[in-house]
Amino acid sequence: MKTVTPRVSALAGCYNEASRGCVWLRDVIQHIRGSCGIISDKEPPTVLHEDNAACIAQLKEGYMKGDRTKHILLKFFFTHDLQKSGDISIQQVRSCENLADLFTKSLPNSTFQRLDQDQETNESVLQSTDPIH
């Protein structure tokens, strides 16, 4: 538990910031759509990816136990509440497919090249579906 607690605490802080950013962006998009007269039903949840299964389980279940996790409860429950309301969805991504690892870890050359290619593919798909391009 000694190594898991700091990791989950750090992840809870990251998810708190990411969740706050998602809420802000979703509100901005809703405001722009409303200003343009575009009325839409509730948006699908914004997907946040995580490769730590223990973190995902605790965030989805809304349960953390232990005296050493009291300091992260507010951050943790904010993210959990957003999941319950359908604003965000935290989904697992396999570590070998985690594009964020390009920026956070020293990777073997073959893994780096594969993830870099995946990232370029994702960008081209987004550009081809973007009506501005």
Q: What is the pLDDT of residues 19-55, one digit of tens each?
A: 888 889 989 988 998 899 888 777 888 888 888 787 7
Residue 14 pLDDT > 80: no
Tokens 């995580």 belong to which residue?
A: 50
**pLDDT at residue 28 in the model:** 92
**pLDDT at residue 68 in the model:** 60
- Average pLDDT over every residue of 94-123: 74
Q: How far is CA 32 from CA 25, 43, 44, 88, 123, in A?
A: 11, 14, 17, 20, 24
- Round the average pLDDT of the chain to a whole number and report it: 74
